[in-house]
Structure 1
C-alpha cells in the first residue's frame, strides 16, 4: 500500500464509481480495480459493495475513508511545513455560520494576512451540525460554531460571548402585541441554524407553538424581510448594531438565559496541528 492507493480509494468512495475515480486520478479503471483489490487483501475486508450502477462503502470502507483523509491531510501538512521551513505557509480550511461568513470573515482575513501572507485561508459556511461533522471528517481544519459542543474528538477555544435580540420591523411598537398574531410569522435560516433553534425555543417558552416560517439563506435576506414587516427574527445584537443600525428595524431583548451565545472555534484534538493551523488558533488562545 502507498499513498496513491489511498487517493484512488478516496476518489472511488467520494464519486461512487471506479470509472469516475479513474478519470479523477488520471489512470484506467483496471488499475483502480486492482488498487482497491490490493487494499481489500491487505486489510482483510471488503471495502465496497455494488448497488445498481454505483459502488458504496461497507462499514470497513467507511472506517478506512476516515483514516485515508487523515493520512492525506498529514502528508499535505508535512509537505507544506518542510517546503516552508523558513516561513509559515499552507492552507487552512475554516467553517463558519452565515453571520460570521458575511460580516466577520473579511476582518479575520485582513488581520491574519498581514501577519502570515503565505498562509491561504479558505472559508466555507454551513449549519452547525454540518460544520461539526466536517471538522471531524477532515473536510475542515476548524470551524466557528455556537456553544455548547461536547464531543471528545474536538478541542474548543472561546472566541466571544454575544447577546441575542429579537428583531422586528420599524413600525412595531410592542413585541407583546405582535406575538398575539395568529399565526405569528418568523424569518429564519434553514433547519440546523443556531439562531432559528434559539428563536423557536424562545417562542416555546412563551407558549407559542404555531408560527409561519419564511426560510432564507442569507443574513441580508433576513434583514430585508424583517424590515418589510414579513416577520420577526433573532440575531446577535452586535451584528444588528454594527452593520444594520440605519435600517428600519427595531430590537427587543429576551431573557438572559436565552440571549446568551458563546462562539467557539473547534478543531480536532487527535493530531498535531500544522504550522499554518497553529498560528490561526493562536489568535484565539
Structure 2
C-alpha cells in the first residue's frame, strides 16, 4: 500500500468507473483493479460495490474515503509548509445548474485563475438532486444548488438570491393570456430541474394539471422554442437580460414564493478542506481561510 493507491481509490470513487479512473491516472485498468484489490485485502473489506452499470462506494469505502481525503490533504499541506511555498496547487471538481455556469462560470474561472493560478477547476452541470448526491458521494468537491438544504453531512453558505420569471413569446400580453391558451404548452428541461418543478407547482396552484410539455436539454433550445411561439417556461431573469435581451421573448414576474431562488454552496463536513478547495471557497467567504 502506498499513497498512489489512495489516489487511484479516490479516482475510482469520483469517476464511478475503473476504465475512466485508469485514464485519469495514466495507467491501465488492470493496475487499477490490482491496486483496489490490494487495498481491500489490506483493510479486510470490499470498498466498492460493482455492477454492469456502475461502481459505488460501500460503507467501508465511505469510511476509507474520509481517511484518504485527510491523508492527501495533510500531505499537500506538509509540502507547502516544509517547502515554505505559499503557492496553492491542486484540482477541484465543482457542480452547478447549467444556468449558474452560464452566468457565473467565466467570472469564477477568471477570479480563480487570477488569485490561484495553479488550481485547476472542472465544472460539471447537473440537476439539483444529482449535484447533492455527487457531493455526498465525493464525486464533486462542492456544488452550487438551490436552497433549502437540510442535510447534516453538508456545510453550506449562501451565495446569491435571484429572481425567476415566466418567459413567453413576445406577443404574449400577460400571465392570464398564457394560461388561457388552448392547449397550454410549456418548454421544460428534464425531470429534476428546479425551474420545471416551480413551473409545475405554479400551474397546479392555478388548477391546471393537463398541459403539453416539450423537453429540451439546453437553455438555447428553450429560448429558441419560446421565441418560435411554441410555449413558455420559467428561467432566471438574469439569464434573459444578460444573454437574450434582443430575442423576441417577454418576461413576467411571479409570486414571491416561486419567483425568488437562493443558491447555496455545499461541501462535505466530514473531511478537511484541501488547499485547492479552501482557495475556491475563499472567493466567496474569506472566513473559510481560517478553517
The TM-score with structure 2 as length reference comes to 0.82
Structure 2: runs of 5+ lacking an equivalent: 286-291
What secondary structure does 2:58 align onto? helix
Residue 78 of structure 1 corresponds to: 74
SS of corresponding position for 1:26? helix
What's 2:29 paired with?
24
In structure 2, C-alpha distance between the alignment counterparts of 1:8 and 1:279, rounded to whole Å = 24
Cα 1:265/1:8, change in 2 over 3 Å? closer
- Deviation of 1:198 (Å): 0.9
Offset at residue 260 of structure 1 (A): 1.2
Q: How many residue pairs align between the two structures?
A: 274
Name the structure 1 match of 2:163.
163
Cα distance per residue 1:70-90 (max 9 Å; x no partner): 344344433443444421121
1:178-189 correspondence to structure 2 within 5 Å? 178-189=178-189
Aligned to 2:200: 200
Flag structure 1 segments of 5+ consecutive residues without an equivalent: none
Q: Which residue of 2 aligns with 1:35?
A: 38
CA distance in 1, matches of 2:280, 2:240: 27
The equivalent residue for 1:127 is 127
Does the alignment pair 1:154 with 2:154? yes
SS in 1 for 2:177: helix
Deviation at 1:12, TM superposition (A): 7.8
Q: CA deviation at 1:264?
A: 0.6
Residues 153-189 of structure 1: CA distance to partner in whole angstroms, max 9, x if unpaired? 0111101111111000111123312212333111111
Q: Is 2:63 the partner of 1:63?
A: no
1:281 maps to which residue?
A: 281
Deviation string, structure 1 residues 216-249 (Cα, Å, up to 9, x no partner): 1111111111111111100111221222111110
- The CA deviation string for residues 79-138 of structure 1, in whole angstroms up to 9 with x for no partner, is 443444421121121100010122210011112211111111111110001100111111
Q: CA RMSD in A?
A: 3.0
Per the alignment, in what secondary structure is the counterpart of residue 177 of structure 1?
A: helix
Tell me if the contact between 1:77 and 1:90 (Cα under 8 Å) persists in the aligned partners.
no
Q: Distance in 1 between matches of 2:169 and 2:105?
A: 27
Question: Could you tell me which residue of structure 2 aligns to residue 144 of structure 1?
Answer: 144
Residues in 2 aligned to 1:175 and 1:159: alpha-carbon distance in whole angstroms = 30
Distance 1:11 1:91 in 2: 12
Does structure 2 retain, via aligned residues, the 8 Å contact 1:47–1:57?
Answer: no
TM (normalized to structure 1)?
0.83
Q: Secondary structure at the match of 2:31?
A: coil
* Separation in structure 1 between the aligned mates of residue 53 and residue 168 of structure 2, nearest angstrom: 50
The answer to whether the 8 A contact 1:189-1:218 is kept is yes
